Amino acid sequence: MSSLEIRGIQKSFSSTQVLKGIDISIDSGDFLVLVGPSGCGKSTLLNMIAGLDSITAGDIVIDGDVVNEVRPSQRDIAMVFQSYALYPNMSVAKNISFGLEMRKVPKDERNQRVASVAQMLQIEPLLDRKPSQLSGGQRQRVAMGRALVRDPKIFLFDEPLSNLDAKLRVDMRTEIKKLHQRVGNTIVYVTHDQVEAMTLATKIAVMKDGELQQLGSPDEVYNNPNNLFVASFMGSPSMNLLESRIIQQDGAPVVPVSLKSGEEIFLPLPQSPAYRKYLNKPVIIGLRPEAITDPGSAEQESSLLYSSSCQIDMIEPTGAELYAIMELNKQEVVSRMRASCGVQSGQTAEVIFNMEYAVLFDPETELRIS
């Protein structure tokens, strides 16, 4: 168990800068998820932590020691690869014990450790098989076993679930989380799937174009996004972003929004000194789908509920809930409702806006106003 610090890490491949100075610091036992669209540099950063990629500038610090020049095998890390990277010529048991063998662990101890890891991951019947005889999920387990058996300071996961089918992915996700709770090691996990990030992480680092957009707990990143990118990237369906402006009405700040019927409604905003500076100026208002809902699922204790009747253009039932699509400010807006709330496409329904969860952004800087 160890802390990890990433200080001002930069990476350039010839003339293109892939990472533009990343600072992240996590404590021992943290589960850090690096998330972002493809090409944001998250995998490169992971490779640099592993020591597989050279560092252009900055420091990687594990347990207070700068490890920039330390070889991957000496960093006491283990990595699970996207493709699993199981050695095709070795049996499952050999695959798991290879790292121990290279570290000259005596044979008896090796066998013992392989057995205990196999038991933990429930792969004991597979130990004599070759990787080619395993299913995707089994390979995934073996790859995790290979990392676990070493009991390293830090685990690195590089999109480990992206090659599994949807059902298995959810199962393995739960198992990884259980595993983390049981062994409590520090984990760095790369994914492009924001649901994985939300469910697994104790800390999420959202990245884009080689820059860190936000570092925080899943709750912070979801509810208090730093900027427009984080707001739209995290969450599914993604946050509704409407262009509007702040005006004063009866001494309170509100944002006007036009309905499909042409009627204009004024959504209340929480009291915040920051909003005063934007009075009568354009802003972008962000509303999560669950903040626009049917009266039955609205949080009644919220102090900023606003009710209005809106025309529902289309509904998308998912079974557990229902996404109702409507038009605000001539823009498509998704709202999340109970499956049994009875709204129909083409009809009007009463919709509750929970403005407590509204977030505002500056349209020019794209930064959060708060």
Partner 1 sequence: MTDTLQANGVSSARFWRVALYTTLIVFAVFYLLPLYVMLTTSFKSLAEIRQGNMLALPADWTIEPWLQAWGKACVGLTCEGINSYFWNSIKMVVPAVVITTVLGALNGYVLTKWRFTGHKWVFALMLFGCFIPFQIVLIPMSQVLGKLGIAGDTAGLVLVHTAYGIGFSTLFFRNYYEAFPSELVKAAMIDGAGFFGIFWRILLPSSGPIIVVTVIWLFTNIWNDFLFGASFAAGEGAPMTVALNNLVNSSTGVKEYNVHMAAAIIAALPTLLVYIVAGRYFVRGLMAGSVKG
Phi then psi dihedrals of residue 100, to 5 deg: -70, -40
Structural contact between residues 145 and 134, judged by C-beta atoms closer than 8 angstroms: no
Question: 81 vs 306, which CB is nearer to partner 1?
Answer: 81
Interface with partner 1, residue 54, by CB under 8 A: no
Q: Which stretch binds partner 1 (CB under 8 A): 59-67, 84-92, 292-300, 301-309?
A: 84-92
Interface with partner 1, residue 12, by CB under 8 A: no
Interface with partner 1, residue 166, by CB under 8 A: no
Interface with partner 1, residue 13, by CB under 8 A: no
The minimum distance between CB 156 and partner 1, in angstroms, equals 9
Q: Which two tokens stand for residue 276?
A: 């005063």
Site for partner 1 in 102-131 (CB under 8 A): 102-103, 130-131
Residue choice 73, 111, 116, 331 for contact with partner 1 (CB under 8 A) = 73
Interface with partner 1, residue 66, by CB under 8 A: no
Q: How far apart are CA 330 and CA 365, in angstroms?
A: 23
Q: Which two tokens stand for residue 96?
A: 């798991």
The minimum distance between CB 132 and partner 1, in angstroms, equals 3
Question: 86 vs 322, which CB is nearer to partner 1?
Answer: 86
Question: 86 vs 255, which CB is nearer to partner 1?
Answer: 86
Structural contact between residues 99 and 146, judged by C-beta atoms closer than 8 angstroms: yes
Q: Which stretch binds partner 1 (CB under 8 A): 71-79, 223-231, 252-260, 272-280?
A: 71-79
Question: 86 vs 257, which CB is nearer to partner 1?
Answer: 86
Q: Which two tokens stand for residue 22?
A: 């990343």
Interface with partner 1, residue 221, by CB under 8 A: no
Residue choice 89, 181, 300, 340 for contact with partner 1 (CB under 8 A) = 89
Residues 18-47, mask of contacts with partner 1 (x by CB under 8 A): -----------------------------x
Interface with partner 1, residue 137, by CB under 8 A: no
Interface with partner 1, residue 78, by CB under 8 A: yes
Interface with partner 1, residue 295, by CB under 8 A: no
**167 exposed, middle or buried (CB, 10 Å; 0-12, 13-18, 19+)?**
exposed
The minimum distance between CB 124 and partner 1, in angstroms, equals 19
Strand 4-13 and strand 359-361: the pairing is: unpaired
Q: Which stretch binds partner 1 (CB under 8 A): 15-23, 85-93, 174-182, 308-316?
A: 85-93
Q: Is the dihedral of CA 323, 325, 326, 330 positive or negative?
A: positive
Total Cβ atoms within 10 A of residue 226: 21
Which residues of this chain interact with partner 1, rule CB under 8 A? 47, 50, 52, 71-73, 77-79, 81-89, 98-99, 102-103, 130-134, 136, 139, 146, 150, 163
